[in-house]
């Protein structure tokens, strides 16, 4: 829904207008809108210190410079991703209302998000030895822990694959293990020695 372009307004007026849009049309929660208001107010007061917005003076490089400065201050990738998402949202809103040119939101860089990126690629030999030494003992639970470690470390099974194992999937006579793999919708089985 395109609104007529507004040449200028105060930072407070725009934040109130944008908050109304987020609540009424996008249905965002109060806490999410509060974060949006914080980021937008910080951006706008950075660009317009006198708190009087003149949209014709706003340039794309101002957005990039603001992000660069904030990312240097906010080192958490999750926080950076949230701020980038909020700025994309407000840029789409501004373009939709005719205050800035279309496409600025798409020109902002993406922050890659690798799932489990903070986990180590593999364990060192010392770490593996430490895990096995922690499982030394004659109790049943120690044998269970050693078996789990063997499945994880030697066969490379995932937690879900181990959790789905049943006694019927172990071929004790031939020394094989049938593992169910869930890939998207289809369930497949693979046999491991």
Residue pLDDT, tens place only, 140-163 = 999 999 888 888 887 778 888 888
Per-residue pLDDT at 8: 78
Q: Which of 75-79, 101-105, 169-173, 189-193 has the lowest mean pLDDT?
A: 189-193
Tell me the pLDDT tens digit for each residue of 74-129.
888 889 989 999 999 999 999 999 999 999 988 887 776 666 556 566 788 898 89
Is the Cα dihedral 47, 49, 55, 56 positive or negative? Answer: negative
Specify whether 131 is located in the same domain as 59.
no
Per-residue pLDDT at 156: 78
Specify whether 83 is located in the same domain as 12.
yes
Q: Which domain holds residue 146?
A: 125-154
Q: What is the pTM of this model?
A: 0.57
Residue 148 lies in a domain: yes
DSSP one-letter code for 192: E
Average pLDDT, the chain: 84
Per-residue pLDDT at 157: 80
Domains held by the chain: number:
3
Specify whether 69 is located in the same domain as 100.
yes
Query: Taking 80 as the threshold, does the pLDDT of residue 59 lie above it?
Result: yes
Residue 68 lies in a domain: yes
Specify whether 51 is located in the same domain as 67.
yes
| Token digits of residue 48 | 């317009």
Single out the residue of 81, 70, 156 nearest to residue 111, CA to CA.
Answer: 81
| Token digits of residue 8 | 């200028």
Query: How confident is residue 4, by pLDDT bands cut at 50, 70 and 90?
Result: very low
**Residue 55: Cβ within 10 Å count:** 17
Provide the residue count of the chain. Answer: 193
Alpha-carbon distance 56 to 51, whole Å? 15
Specify whether 40 is located in the same domain as 69.
yes
Query: How confident is residue 168, by pLDDT bands cut at 50, 70 and 90?
Result: confident
């Amino acid at each position: 829904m395109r609104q007529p372009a507004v040449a200028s307004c105060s930072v407070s007026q725009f934040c109130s207008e944008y908050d109304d849009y987020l609540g009424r049309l996008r249905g965002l929660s109060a806490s999410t809108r509060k974060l949006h208001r914080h980021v937008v107010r910080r951006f706008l007061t950075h660009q317009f210190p006198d708190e009087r917005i003149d949209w014709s003076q706003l340039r794309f490089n101002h957005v990039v410079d603001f992000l660069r400065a904030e990312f240097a201050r906010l080192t958490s990738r999750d926080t950076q991703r949230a701020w980038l998402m909020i700025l994309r949202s407000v840029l789409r809103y501004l373009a939709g209302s005719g205050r800035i040119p279309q496409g600025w939101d798409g020109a902002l860089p993406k922050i890659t998000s690798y799932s489990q990126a903070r986990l180590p690629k593999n364990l060192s030999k010392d770490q593996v030895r430490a895990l096995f030494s922690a499982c030394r003992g004659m109790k049943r639970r120690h044998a269970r822990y050693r078996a789990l470690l063997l499945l994880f470390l030697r066969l490379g099974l995932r937690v879900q694959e181990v959790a789905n194992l049943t006694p019927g999937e172990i071929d004790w006579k031939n020394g094989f293990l049938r593992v169910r793999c869930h890939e998207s919708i289809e369930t497949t089985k693979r046999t491991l020695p």
